[in-house]
């Protein structure tokens, strides 16, 4: 049975850019988008991270980027690991990993329509949640819609 230190050592021996976030004990790899599949294959095939728990994105308009976050889980070690990278906000294209993790089929569709990313090679890129005529990407920080209520600004006293 592996523990976090063993997993981190194996990851660091292969990928030097590993960081730990104090709010989450799971190792967090910062990778280059074009090496995503290489990293995920290593984690799946060498370290037994066979389950993609979730895939999401974070909108970073100040940097004109979207940050993608993949969280994997190993049933063998009972540990999680996160893989992160950034893509340009206006031209976010990411290769699909749905052939590596079946759960990615739904996660990629959801992330694509809510953040405006394109997962190249995805087997079924249709919308999943939103109406076809909705314009914009609801989880981007600059999204507006005429029917969307605005909450008042909160000021601290």
CATH of domain 4-91: 3.30.460.80
Instruction: Parse the chain into domains and list their residue ranges.
Output: 4-91
> Under a CB-based contact definition with an 8 Å cutoff, are residues 27 and 11 in contact?
yes
Q: Tens digit of pLDDT per residue, the chain (157 long)? A: 478 788 888 888 888 766 666 567 788 888 888 889 999 999 999 999 999 999 999 999 999 999 999 999 999 999 999 999 999 998 889 999 999 999 999 999 999 999 999 999 999 998 889 888 888 889 998 887 777 666 677 776 6
- How far apart are the C-alpha atoms of 24 and 60, rounded to whole Å? 20
List b or e across 69-92, with b for residues whose CB sees 16 or more CB atoms inside 10 angstroms. Answer: ebbbbbeebebbbbbbbbbebeeb
């Amino acid at each position: 049975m592996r523990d976090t230190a063993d997993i981190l050592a194996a990851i660091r021996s292969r990928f030097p850019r590993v960081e730990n976030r104090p709010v989450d004990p799971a190792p967090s790899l910062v990778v280059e988008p074009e090496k995503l599949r290489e990293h995920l294959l290593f984690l799946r095939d060498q370290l037994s991270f066979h389950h993609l728990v979730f895939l999401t994105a974070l909108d970073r308009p100040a940097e004109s980027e979207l940050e993608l976050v993949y969280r994997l889980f190993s049933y063998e070690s009972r540990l999680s690991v996160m893989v992160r990278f950034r893509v340009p906000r206006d031209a976010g294209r990411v290769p699909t990993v749905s052939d590596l993790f079946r759960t990615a089929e739904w996660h990629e569709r959801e992330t694509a329509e809510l953040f405006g990313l394109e997962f190249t090679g995805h087997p079924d890129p249709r919308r999943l949640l939103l109406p076809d005529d909705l314009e914009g990407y609801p989880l981007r920080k600059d999204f507006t819609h005429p029917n969307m209520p605005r909450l008042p600004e909160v000021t601290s006293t």
